[in-house]
Amino acid sequence: MRTPTAAALIATLAAAVALLRPSAAAQAQSAIPTGVLDRPCAALAPMPAEVAAYLAETARARATHQPEPAASAQGVALYNAWQNLRLTQDFAGLCHYADQNAALPPASGRRVVFFGDSITELWGLLDPGFFTHDVINRGISGQTTAQMVGRFQEDVIALRPRAVVILAGTNDIAGNTGPTTLAWIEGNIRTLVETAKANHVRVVLASVLPAARYSWRPEVQPIPQIRALNEWLAGYAKSQRLTFLDYRPPLDDGHAGFKAELSADGVHPNAKGYALMRPLAERAMREALSRRAP
């Protein structure tokens, strides 16, 4: 057995010290104020400038029906790192709409909140005329039902709506915040519905949109899970006397996937897709608003 040289010992020690030293990202995170703060949203890490510029360019392209810009590998890495940091700083996304919520005028008595993930959030971009002071968009891209439970009070109940349209579950199936079960998803949706009913808010419960695959989770096979969750949603809505909003018929390609002409990625509707969803949502809103308060 050879005796290690002094140089080898020094190299080994240096490597061990490097492993123990906090990374730059960890140091940056530890420098961010934490705990109970007067203005917690001001302490969040800002979105990287490159990511913000790309998202703005993408928004303009979608709004004008132009091809979306290609994302750089560096931009994707920056976005993922920022999102992961945000999950630890603001898991529920309470800061996403904090300023907009504070600026809202008093509720009219016919206010409806659309509550969900990117499918809801993008709707406001591609069909902004649908959302007014009476129809409020509170979708956050990428969110799962566990995150939605955490912000339901601030983004729905505190806005004093007459009704809420809940569209949720596809990101749970994709595993955006980790492994889950259908029972856990259902439990989170029950919590949303029960909270709404306890506050005399009428509920419209929407079906999960069709998807044959998730581009960001290609290993997931979502069709059977979406089918099972939608069956539960329809049955639960009936048992609770909620308005059930089934978006699937005009969007489904006949094989449980999204019609290609209605979506660029097989998950999110394009402008044509939202145009088919809008009358279904409007009919569901009218039905919900005509119901007696729970």
Q: Residue ranges per domain, the chain?
A: 45-89, 107-290
Specify the pTM: 0.84
CA trace torsion 156, 158, 160, 164 (10° rounding): 10
Q: How many residues does the chain have?
A: 294
Query: Which of 47-51, 91-95, 227-231, 233-237 shows the lowest per-residue confidence on average (mean pLDDT)?
Result: 47-51
Sign of the C-alpha dihedral computed for residues 166, 172, 176 and 178 taken in this order: positive
Fold of the domain built from segment(s) 107-290: Rossmann fold (3.40.50)
The pLDDT of 162-175, averaged and rounded, is: 98
Residue 28 has pLDDT above 70, yes or no: no
pLDDT in the model for residue 31: 64
pLDDT in the model for residue 86: 78
Residue 12 has pLDDT above 60, yes or no: no
User: How many alpha carbons lie under 13 Å from residue 225 in its C-beta half-sphere?
Assistant: 21
Residues with Cβ < 8 Å from 176, sequence gap 6 or more? 142, 143, 144
**Burial of residue 242, with CB atoms counted within 10 A of its CB: 0-12 exposed, 13-18 middle, 19 or more buried:** buried
Quick one: pLDDT band at residue 50, thresholds 50, 70, 90? confident
pLDDT in the model for residue 98: 97
Q: Are 205 and 233 in contact (CB under 8 A)?
A: yes
pLDDT in the model for residue 62: 66
At residue 235, the 3 state secondary structure works out as helix
What is the pLDDT of the chain when averaged over all its residues? 88
pLDDT in the model for residue 127: 96
Query: Which of 64-78, 88-102, 113-127, 215-229 shows the lowest per-residue confidence on average (mean pLDDT)?
Result: 64-78
